[in-house]
Amino acid sequence: MLREKINVGIGVDGSAGNDSSNMLEEMRWARILQGARKDATYLKPIEVLKMGTINGAKALRWDKAIGSLEVGKCADLAIFNGEDSLVYVGVWNKVGGLISCQAKRAEIVIVNGKIVIENGQLLTQNETELIKKANKVWRKTFY
């Protein structure tokens, strides 16, 4: 599809679809599965990153608001620490390490210009309490 200039986007739709809502994991799997075909090679990490950012925004027709860091667009950004794990030792291509290695939590997440995760911790709500409430609703609904 990429050779034919078809826009390919990667996204997550929440726990109902994949039980993790983890964009890094979805990008990693897209790269891995592409390389599994006999006549294919792994996608370049930068191509996969584009699929998860600007190409995904184009697929949703939201590319005027999200998908890249530009003046006038939403200030959404996830920042990862590529120096804090043995997984990343010897990785010379930081985008490649981010896309190809084990998915990890972002250190900082900024949504519409506001920091919502810092040092890997959710700031807008008590994450432990949120998980307890979600589990309570789940148990009440399914048991």
Domain ranges of the chain: 15-142
- Tell me the pLDDT tens digit for each residue of 49-79: 999 999 999 999 999 999 999 999 998 999 9
With cut-offs at 50, 70 and 90, classify the pLDDT of residue 88. low
Is the per-residue pLDDT at 17 higher than 60?
Answer: no
User: CATH classification of 15-142, choosing from 2.30.40, 1.20.120, 1.10.3470, 2.40.10?
Assistant: 2.30.40
* Size (the chain), residues: 143
Using an 8 Å Cβ cutoff, are 8 and 55 in contact?
Answer: yes
Computed over every residue of the chain, the mean pLDDT equals: 86
- Specify the higher pLDDT residue, 120 or 41: 120
Query: Rounded to two decimals, what is the model's pTM?
Result: 0.80
DSSP 35-95: HHSTT--PPPHHHHHHHHTHHHHHHHT-TTTSSS--TTS---EEE--TTS-GGGTT---HH
